[in-house]
Structure 1
Amino acid sequence: MSARVRVEDRECPLSTAMSYVGEWWTMLILHDCFDGYSRFDQFQANIGLSSSMLTARLKTLVDNGILTKRAYQERPVRYEYVLTDFGRSLRPILVAMAAWRNEQLAPSERAMVLVDSETGREVEPVTIDPVSGVSVSDPRFAFRSGPAAGEQMRARYARPRARDV
């Protein structure tokens, strides 16, 4: 996890998640991984990132357990970068981000869409509460401090929210 996270935010899941993936290039690398790319030269060709910057980003993703590095060629040794289970768990986040942006565009303006690969039908992903069936974007759902919350987190959520005032 990056040291850029403020000490008081280290227990906040949003802050810590952003320390793993909250950078432009990281998201593009992950997008490539979900599209089936795994090699340095593929990432570089698709993203256009300098070798040194791409090397640094891939190292961070490996160090954070999002990708694993494995040799695919012996002479010379060449590596590919493969999503771990932890890394694959980020797919719904990227899908949601793309859907969020597409939602703001007319269908004719969408350069990339999510489709059911069996039917070809475009799909609009939503995140719902499985008990109520209500979208979690509904204002009735709110963050509160959890059982592991420290003093600052508890104080944050002990205050009335703007909506509650």
Structure 2
Amino acid sequence: MKHTLSVLVQDEAGVLSRIAGLFARRGFNIESLAVGPGEQVGISRITMVVPGDEAVIEQLIKQLYKLVSVLKVQDLTLTPCVERELMLLKVNATASNRAEAIELANVFRARIVDISEETLTIEVVGDPGKMVAIVQMLNKFGIREVARTGKIVLARESGVNTEYLKSLEAKV
């Protein structure tokens, strides 16, 4: 199972390297990693997606807390959250199929951020499912390049589980 960890750390040189080293020494992969300033000056938030079962993740969290710069670790996997990711896609788009590619981008509320004689560069923001869906739809044009930020997550203070609500809507 993939787990989403949110780690608050002191913003100091080498902290990301120490965390990555911890994972590397134990032979664990980080599938997605996003780092940026947090809500307080001097504190950064690291969001990572890590594969593993409950026991493995529990051990990793204990190991993270042993690092001096780590302030707080949360496994948000089963917590109702807002998840977002940013992706840039460069796709083939000639005069004959450009309108169709732009229409598809509009369906996904994506933005065209660059255009040339042969390509479109599209900016997509959304949950990970949206990223998979738009890539599948744009594959027919030929995807030249992809750049993704990695998932960022904040717990929903309302406690509303939108994934659960989506499953109820699908049954209706």
Shorter-chain TM-score: which interval? under 0.3
Give the strand-richer structure, 1 or 2: 2
TM-score normalised to the size of structure 2? 0.22
